[in-house]
Chains A and B, each alone.
Chain A
């Protein structure tokens, strides 16, 4: 449903410039008409633009449907209304209170609500919306309940040398235009900074995001807070504009209107949502005749749109662009589009390997040493590594496998039950530092469950997992990833909407320490020197140059397998858990992966390899652990283990 595919370099200047021109043109709108009704409609439209963008920040960018938006809007409105009526505050003070309050409310609502699965999130936030409306209705002493807060004075903007009252309709229009511009700028910014990459990753695949080191709920909460603050800003303005605020400002009908706008426009599309909001407020003005039927029509319209045209106007814009692009001929090409259809935009000269494409056809390149880019500043890195975090702000600068403190991974009596069935029974094993261990067994013997429990994806029912001397059972997946415990998934997982390169960049962002991750949220995606270099290098080594800027969801299975594998290596891991890396992969690709596994092994990465392909396992592993029905039935040197009668029986029967 989310059709936008973010590019690494979405022709940055042009889109921003386009929006600048659009906003300036809108600023002249009141000069064109003297009819107050039109200007009022314009003000309402811009209010909805702000609210719809705030809504889409959560729905479209992090993929959570929040029905609590009216809470924040209503909070901003009531805060501004009460403050100005009782204390005669200036607009800045009201905005300050609205922001702080909305952010606090977002945390209060978001922390319990994001614990829910995503459908339940919608319902949980709905509960908060209903509760907030109840409070507004019944807390007579503050909100005056159904009597409403009335006689709200106009906006008062205070300056160092005095204050201005925003009274005229034109002035109010310009003020809400400014607020809408902030919302547009926020959205533009989010698509360009690294935070936006984290948003998209969490939206596309929360589980993979946490395996890459991102904490999904923290990322979602960030979007939720931003969205709440934007909604509250619009609310603060609306209180002054309407001069009356009633409990129905918190009604669910606002959410329904926002849903219609966002879906008419196209989820996660800036231009779509803006045009959806404008269309939805301007068009009904012509439907006045059938006022009674309006909500019926909205409901029907929303139903039809969401079922038949889930891409909304964005879909239409793209068709138009392609059409115009063709009409204008070869000269401009697809570069005329805001989204940048041309992949050439991202081919960057610093690409490390430029001549490998022909060689690759013959034989995939033997991987470079993982650490080869970074011998220079290894010393300083070694120093930092003692803190447990070897990742500098800009990515893998100076990552040296050799500098890792050698830690063994030890699993003790790990037990996992599925409704009484033992998926893992008292499983114990050790992966020594730098060892390459194979975990094999028939289907359903608990291999994936073991990896899931070690990597924190599933909670174990008993036992312990030690990483060095630290117990890591119960540590969330994202924290393990940050500590260098990376994993891949049996069913290949990539972020489908992100390009191959972005898939790798996300891993670089997630594997940074919490503090470093936070610090770089507001940095640009397209200026990320070390990590860009590193990911291009990996892309070249895996022979993925041609698809570097293609959304990973469009790739073939084998290519996605490579992308997933490469992403796990962007920051070299300490321990790598590989769940069937070559399942259903063609021999050439399998060969590339084998070379990489051996190279990582020789670089000292500890590897636990789950695989069904015996030839592959016997070819690379130093030691094998065999599982059957959740029990360890054999362990030891590969050829010896394979001769074990118990193992033979487990595989081939008696």
Chain B
């Protein structure tokens, strides 16, 4: 029973991690029609910022986590200004290669500056609670709660904030949105910053559970893509749901099939879904 529960928790945590990244990816695609291959690296940077704030600047975990998420805000703006803005109206190949280049650049920059080996990030949330006979670590609870809060905030933002509504409008029809006076540039900037923040939240909460290393983004990005494709490109809710499903699939195949091939099972699920429904489970067909 404990094993099952542990795997459930592992799966939900992994699912939350993938979901935070996939939601950002899907948001960027929905609003800007850009597939961001550097998105895993934004997550990695969130974790690295946390590491720097804790080990080099000496902040305690809580403030370091807040600081690292906050740092993603100017970083997102920078990413928009330097890269995204320049490739907005280019062919998808240029967009894809440009973001892939950013990914290579960031991973190797971190390797050069901090070294490739994995780094431990201490967190004070090491207590393990026992609820109804089941053990669960505090950090995992934090991950799940933060992810839920982040998604609730995101949906409130979509639903109630003017900018959020504008974002949905742009996602539905960029031209029409710009005709009715929505400043698509600003909306695009907001979407990039929002997805950076989501990635930052993932980095800052999950880093203490796993080790921080430059390649951590590359490992997760493919799963996040799988979730985005399964959810239907640009469909944020679909991406989140698929991410949680994939996280659970991964956790249970680690436990019950073979830990080495867990990722293979995840991709297998993705490919199976795509063969049956190329537009994704929740998919609307991507507009041309």
Contacts and interface: CB of A to CB of B under 8 A. Distances in A.
B226 interface: yes
A287 interface: no
Contacts of B274: 112, 115-116, 120, 124
B104 interface: yes
Given A293-B112, A307-B87, A307-B94, A124 B105 contact: no
B229 interface: yes
A122 B90 CA distance: 17
Interface stretch (A129-137, A527-535, A559-567): A129-137
Given A116-B274, A127-B267, A299-B102, A1 B225 contact: no
Contact of B225 (A123, A135, A138, A298): A123
B94 A134 contact: no
A485 B268 CA distance: 39
A116 B104 CA distance: 25
A359 to B, nearest CB: 41
B263 interface: yes
Nearest to B87: A307
Contact of A131 (B29, B264, B275): B264
B53 interface: no
B73 interface: no
A256 B286 contact: no
A582 B264 CA distance: 53
Contact of B90 (A1, A127, A256): A1
B263 A124 contact: no
B35 A256 contact: no
Nearest to A290: B112
Interface residues of B, number: 45
B114 interface: no
Given A112-B271, A115-B278, A119-B92, A302 B112 contact: no
The secondary structure that dominates the A interface is helix
Contacts of B226: 123, 127
A306 B97 contact: yes
A252 interface: yes
A360 to B, nearest CB: 36
Interface hub of B35, B87, B96, B103 (most chain A Cβ within 10 A): B96
A303 B275 contact: no
Contacts of B105: 296, 299-300, 303
A302 B99 CA distance: 10
Nearest to B218: A252
B52 interface: no
A127 B268 CA distance: 9
B96 A131 contact: no
Contacts of B98: 302-303, 306-307
A539 B271 CA distance: 46
A492 to B, nearest CB: 15
B97 to A, nearest CB: 5
Q: How large is the interface on A (under 10, 10 to 19, 20 to 34, 35 or more residues)?
A: 35 or more
A73 interface: no
B88 to A, nearest CB: 11
A135 B268 CA distance: 13
Contacts of A1: 90-91, 93-94
A149 B226 CA distance: 31
B83 interface: yes
Contacts of B225: 123, 126-127
Contact of A127 (B92, B93, B270): B270
Interface string A417-431: 001000000000000
Contacts of A116: 229, 274, 278
Interface in B52-95: 83, 86-87, 90-94
Given A119-B35, A134-B260, A303-B102, A296 B108 contact: yes
A185 interface: no
A120 B233 contact: yes
A131 B271 CA distance: 12
B100 A130 contact: no
A303 B83 contact: yes
A425 to B, nearest CB: 21
B261 A134 contact: yes
Contacts of A127: 222, 225-226, 267, 270-271
Interface string A284-307: 000000001101101110110011
B110 to A, nearest CB: 10
B264 A135 contact: yes
Given A126-B225, A292-B112, A256 B104 contact: yes
Interface in A70-128: 112, 115-120, 122-124, 126-128
A267 interface: yes
Contacts of A115: 274-275, 278
B101 interface: yes
Contacts of A123: 35, 222, 225-226, 228-229
20 contacts: A1-B94, A65-B97, A112-B274, A116-B274, A119-B92, A119-B233, A127-B225, A131-B264, A131-B267, A259-B97, A263-B97, A293-B108, A295-B108, A296-B112, A300-B105, A303-B83, A307-B86, A307-B90, A307-B94, A310-B90
Given A295-B104, A307-B86, 14 more contacts: A1-B91, A117-B233, A123-B222, A127-B267, A130-B222, A131-B264, A134-B264, A259-B100, A295-B107, A296-B108, A296-B112, A299-B105, A302-B101, A303-B83
Interface of B: 29, 35, 83, 86-87, 90-94, 96-98, 100-109, 111-112, 218, 222, 225-226, 228-229, 233, 260-261, 263-264, 267-268, 270-271, 274-275, 278, 284, 286
